Chain A
Amino acid sequence: MKARISILLVLLLPLVAAAQPDSLERQFRSTPDGAARYLLVRNIYNYYEETNRDSALYYAEQGIQIARKTGNKLAEGYSLVNKAYQLIGLGRPGDGLQCILKAFEIAEDPKNGNVPNWVTALHFTGDTRLLVLAYAHHMYGLLAVNIEDPEQQIYHFREALRIGTQIDYKPRMMLAAMNLGRGFLSVRQTDSALYYEHLAERIAVESNFMKYLGMVQLHLGDVYQSTGKTALANEYYYKGVRLSVNYSNLTALSRNYLRLFRYHLAAGKKDSAYYYAKKDIETIHALGKVFGPETNLGIGYEMLYRSYLLNKQTDSAFKYLQLALTTKDSLSKVRIKALSEFQNLSSAEQMRLHNLEKERIVYQNKVRIYVLAASIAVLLLLGLVFYRTNRQKTKARRQIEQAYHELKATQSQLVQAEKMASLGELTAGIAHEIQNPLNFVNNFSEVSKELIDELNTALDKADAHEAKSIGGDLKQNLDKILHHGKRADGIVKGMLQHSRSGSGQKELTDINALADEYVRLAYHGLRAKDKSFNAKIEIATDPALEPVNVVTQDIGRVILNLINNAFYAVHEKQKLQPKGYEPTVTVSTKKLPGKVEIAVSDNGNGIPATVVKKIFNPFFTTKPSGEGTGLGLSLSYDIVTKGHGGELRVETVEGEGTVFTVGLPVKS
């Protein structure tokens, strides 16, 4: 193959390429992967690009491999587009499309832009990634030409021209403009076609990018041919042949030959027709297998057949007719297959590729989202668990604290309620107790007034003895008034002390007087509640008792409570056996070494052994509900033990009675 190419090049083409492909290929084999090796490949590819598709395809593939190994994405994209071009030229548009799509993937991702520029001449300073992108658009446009899709041609070449202009890369601009012209021609917009072909020619000449100038001439010829300007068209075709030969473009050359053959055939110029047919088929042979709609061997054989037919060389004509038919048939089959493949690709495969990519991204995103969601869910769950646990703990703690505070509050309320309850019990007794001294105060005051009248009468009579007697009575009355006034005052003070809550100071207290006072209060209180109740009260105080340092109202409360209980006990027993029972409550005091004792005894029913253990517990009561708070003995116990360092004990015999004894320590 290489030998034949060399021969053909020698025969047909005055080579412009400075470097010999043989020496380049030797260098390529001895150069390690890297920029230099890629540049060698690029130059070799450029050499073969329009002269031998198999070799060009091989070196495009080599370029891809080198680029991949060295991680130069843009070089890979560039070589992929090169490969696509060759594949399209070889009648494999489907494979070409795959390469183009890969190239798009690379060129459209800005992340890939950060690599050295291996794909253009060194003077290019623009964005290489955009250059590759423009090149990919260009190739898509060529693919659209191959499958005869003008809409896609115009779109992609326009994009290529736009991007090429943006980065000011002349070869790209020139080729885009050239193909855009052909696109407009295929939709019969000849003015636009001429505009872009002339633009392409101008760019080519200005930038000395002459390789495709022959193709531009062909397109211009085609434009004029389509408008019936055959002579003008032929001028362009001749010019196209010349420029294609000069700048080594076999594709352009072949097509220009085809146009000239058609012209001479139609004009009946058999020698010229045969000549161009022969030239064309040689060119196609040199170019390699060509399956494009315009440039292929079938067309070449047909051209020769028609030439021989024109020359009446029927044998040769028949031979080439056979060749043309079989070639065209197989080419058609190949082309149909390729086109159908391409159609599948362009619709399904393209979709598939895009969808695959999308799916991959979607899948990755999904995986990421799932992992993230799972992580978040786990974290949330953990957070929730911690939060709930914490909240429950806090809540529980708060509830306990609240319950505790409520209990405390309730307790103090109950303590106060107990005081108030006992005060309530006392009220009737207090009223009675206060009534009597007040009566005495009033009565003695009244009688004293009368005595003063009598005193005056006695003085008038000068009865000194009577006057003295009256004076003595008056003095006695005033003493009585003072005594009863003080008595009422003491009762009121005692009541206030009793109801006062808390922190009483310890003071020296006459326990005997205290016991006496509270016995009376308790008795009258109980009588006020139940008139039928009566009990014998014995007070046996020890005269030797000295004042004891106590909180008076607290100890008073204890005594009151014990007496109330005693009255309650005897009252209950009285209800059960009214005959022959004398309810008796005894309050006694006794001085002992280091302490005093106050004992309150009753001859009630006593306390059952099962109950006696509980009587000092708070809220324990044997009274019907609503009658007792169950705090009386509990409070008494606290007052005596905690408040005064004393003791409160109980002795009871069922059916015979109970004795409560308060022992208070005395400091000697």
Chain B
Amino acid sequence: MKILVVDDEQDIKALFEQRFRREIREGIVDFAFAFSGEQALDYLKKNNHEAVLILSDINMPGMSGLELLKSIKTEYHTPPPVVMMITAYGDEENYRQAMQLGADDFLTKPVDFAILKTKLKIH
């Protein structure tokens, strides 16, 4: 399962690689990282629907997570990738907008990796 993680924080890469250390080793998941909305779209173009799941932060300089979501949901119809948005705690406005734009699921910062793993096994 190919997962694209979008966050402007560089260290998110190291964190995910460690958190999913076993899963990565066992070949259950494969992570790709983008550090901005623009990079994420670039990646999606280049790798043509490779990613089945996109995990994106919202607050990023330049293109925001919501813009990315909108772009994905309007440009990639079949099959639409699953987009899971990571929102800050209590950020109702972003949650609502993300829902409108067709976000498939939500995670709240700080990310609880146990919950994320459970969700990933369902999908």
Partner of A531, one of B21, B93, B111: B93
The digit string for B100-123, where 1 denotes a CB below 8 A from any CB of A, is 000000000111010000000000
Most buried by B among A446, A484, A536: A446
- Evaluate contact between B59 and A476: CB separation under 8 angstroms: no
A to B contact number (C-beta, < 8 Å): 52
The digit string for A420-461, where 1 denotes a CB below 8 A from any CB of B, is 000000000000100110111011101100010010000000
B19 located at the interface, meaning its Cβ lies under 8 Å from any Cβ of chain A in the complex: yes
Q: How large is the interface on A (under 10, 10 to 19, 20 to 34, 35 or more residues)?
A: 20 to 34
B62 located at the interface, meaning its Cβ lies under 8 Å from any Cβ of chain A in the complex: yes
Query: Nearest B residue to A447 by beta-carbon distance?
Result: B18
Question: In the assembly, what is the distance between CA of A446 and CA of B110, in Å?
Answer: 12
B9 located at the interface, meaning its Cβ lies under 8 Å from any Cβ of chain A in the complex: yes
Question: In the assembly, what is the distance between CA of A451 and CA of B22, in Å?
Answer: 11
- Evaluate contact between A440 and B11: CB separation under 8 angstroms: yes
- Evaluate contact between B62 and A443: CB separation under 8 angstroms: no
If A439-B109, A439-B110, A534-B67 touch, does A476 touch B9 (CB 8 Å cutoff)?
A: no
Question: In the assembly, what is the distance between CA of A206 and CA of B84, in Å?
Answer: 153
B113 proximity list for chain A (CB < 8 A): 443, 446
Query: Nearest A residue to B37 by beta-carbon distance?
Result: A534
B39 located at the interface, meaning its Cβ lies under 8 Å from any Cβ of chain A in the complex: no
The digit string for A522-543, where 1 denotes a CB below 8 A from any CB of B, is 0110010001001011000000
Partner of A477, one of B18, B61, B63, B110: B18
A573 located at the interface, meaning its Cβ lies under 8 Å from any Cβ of chain B in the complex: no
- Evaluate contact between A440 and B15: CB separation under 8 angstroms: yes
The digit string for B58-94, where 1 denotes a CB below 8 A from any CB of A, is 0101111001000000000000000000001000011
If A523-B61, A531-B93, A534-B64 touch, does A447 touch B19 (CB 8 Å cutoff)?
A: yes
A473 located at the interface, meaning its Cβ lies under 8 Å from any Cβ of chain B in the complex: yes
- Evaluate contact between A443 and B110: CB separation under 8 angstroms: yes
- Evaluate contact between B18 and A484: CB separation under 8 angstroms: no
Query: Nearest B residue to A484 by beta-carbon distance?
Result: B11
Partner of A436, one of B9, B14, B61, B67: B9
A198 located at the interface, meaning its Cβ lies under 8 Å from any Cβ of chain B in the complex: no
A527 proximity list for chain B (CB < 8 A): 59
- Evaluate contact between B93 and A480: CB separation under 8 angstroms: no
Question: In the assembly, what is the distance between CA of A477 and CA of B97, in Å?
Answer: 35
B94 proximity list for chain A (CB < 8 A): 531
Report the minimal beta-carbon distance from A437 to chain B, rounded to whole angstroms.
9
Question: In the assembly, what is the distance between CA of A520 and CA of B18, in Å?
Answer: 28
A534 proximity list for chain B (CB < 8 A): 62-64, 67
Partner of A480, one of B14, B19, B62: B14
B111 proximity list for chain A (CB < 8 A): 439, 443
Question: In the assembly, what is the distance between CA of A439 and CA of B61, in Å?
Answer: 19
Partner of B62, one of A444, A446, A447, A536: A536
Query: Nearest A residue to B12 by beta-carbon distance?
Result: A440
Report the minimal beta-carbon distance from A110 to chain B, rounded to whole angstroms.
107
Interface residue SS majority, chain A: helix
Query: Nearest B residue to A519 by beta-carbon distance?
Result: B61
- Evaluate contact between B62 and A473: CB separation under 8 angstroms: no
B97 proximity list for chain A (CB < 8 A): 531
The digit string for A472-492, where 1 denotes a CB below 8 A from any CB of B, is 010011001001100000000
Report the minimal beta-carbon distance from B96 to chain A, rounded to whole angstroms.
10
Question: In the assembly, what is the distance between CA of A527 and CA of B9, in Å?
Answer: 17
B61 proximity list for chain A (CB < 8 A): 520, 523, 537
Query: Nearest A residue to B60 by beta-carbon distance?
Result: A534
Partner of A432, one of B18, B59, B67: B59
Most buried by A among B11, B19, B88, B109: B11
Query: Nearest B residue to A528 by beta-carbon distance?
Result: B59
The digit string for B2-33, where 1 denotes a CB below 8 A from any CB of A, is 00000001010011001101000000000000
Report the minimal beta-carbon distance from B18 to chain A, rounded to whole angstroms.
5
- Evaluate contact between B9 and A440: CB separation under 8 angstroms: yes
If A439-B109, A443-B19, A531-B93 touch, does A480 touch B11 (CB 8 Å cutoff)?
A: yes
Partner of B18, one of A439, A473, A531, A536: A473
Question: In the assembly, what is the distance between CA of A579 and CA of B92, in Å?
Answer: 27
Query: Nearest B residue to A431 by beta-carbon distance?
Result: B88
Interface residues of A in 379-408 (CB under 8 A from B): none
B88 proximity list for chain A (CB < 8 A): 432, 435
Question: In the assembly, what is the distance between CA of A537 and CA of B36, in Å?
Answer: 13
A442 proximity list for chain B (CB < 8 A): 110
If A527-B59, A531-B94 touch, does A444 touch B9 (CB 8 Å cutoff)?
A: no
Most buried by A among B18, B19, B21: B18
A476 proximity list for chain B (CB < 8 A): 14
B67 proximity list for chain A (CB < 8 A): 534
Question: In the assembly, what is the distance between CA of A473 and CA of B19, in Å?
Answer: 11
Question: In the assembly, what is the distance between CA of A435 and CA of B9, in Å?
Answer: 12
A520 proximity list for chain B (CB < 8 A): 61
Question: In the assembly, what is the distance between CA of A436 and CA of B93, in Å?
Answer: 19
Question: In the assembly, what is the distance between CA of A476 and CA of B61, in Å?
Answer: 27
Question: In the assembly, what is the distance between CA of A264 and CA of B36, in Å?
Answer: 169
A444 proximity list for chain B (CB < 8 A): 15, 18
A537 proximity list for chain B (CB < 8 A): 61-62
Question: In the assembly, what is the distance between CA of A484 and CA of B21, in Å?
Answer: 21
Question: In the assembly, what is the distance between CA of A484 and CA of B97, in Å?
Answer: 30
A439 proximity list for chain B (CB < 8 A): 109-111
Question: In the assembly, what is the distance between CA of A446 and CA of B16, in Å?
Answer: 12
B64 proximity list for chain A (CB < 8 A): 534
Report the minimal beta-carbon distance from A488 to chain B, rounded to whole angstroms.
13
The digit string for A21-38, where 1 denotes a CB below 8 A from any CB of B, is 000000000000000000
Report the minimal beta-carbon distance from A388 to chain B, rounded to whole angstroms.
65
Query: Nearest B residue to A473 by beta-carbon distance?
Result: B18
B109 proximity list for chain A (CB < 8 A): 435, 439
Query: Nearest B residue to A432 by beta-carbon distance?
Result: B59
Question: In the assembly, what is the distance between CA of A454 and CA of B21, in Å?
Answer: 11
Report the minimal beta-carbon distance from A473 to chain B, rounded to whole angstroms.
6
Question: In the assembly, what is the distance between CA of A432 and CA of B109, in Å?
Answer: 11
- Evaluate contact between B59 and A447: CB separation under 8 angstroms: no
Report the minimal beta-carbon distance from A191 to chain B, rounded to whole angstroms.
131
B14 proximity list for chain A (CB < 8 A): 476-477, 480
Question: In the assembly, what is the distance between CA of A537 and CA of B67, in Å?
Answer: 16
Interface residues of A in 130-154 (CB under 8 A from B): none
Query: Nearest B residue to A520 by beta-carbon distance?
Result: B61
Report the minimal beta-carbon distance from A628 to chain B, rounded to whole angstroms.
24
Q: A435-B109, A534-B64 are in contact. List 9 more A-B contacts (CB 8 A).
A: A442-B110, A444-B15, A444-B18, A473-B21, A477-B14, A484-B11, A524-B59, A527-B59, A531-B94
Q: Which residues of B contact A (CB under 8 A)?
A: 9, 11, 14-15, 18-19, 21, 59, 61-64, 67, 88, 93-94, 97, 109-111, 113
Q: Which 7 A-B pairs have the closest CB atoms?
A: A439-B110, A447-B18, A531-B93, A443-B15, A537-B61, A534-B64, A447-B19
A–B complex contacts, Cβ < 8 Å, 27 sampled: A432-B59, A436-B9, A439-B111, A442-B110, A443-B15, A443-B110, A443-B111, A444-B15, A444-B18, A447-B15, A447-B18, A447-B19, A451-B21, A454-B21, A473-B21, A476-B14, A483-B11, A484-B11, A523-B61, A524-B59, A527-B59, A531-B94, A531-B97, A534-B62, A534-B64, A536-B62, A537-B62
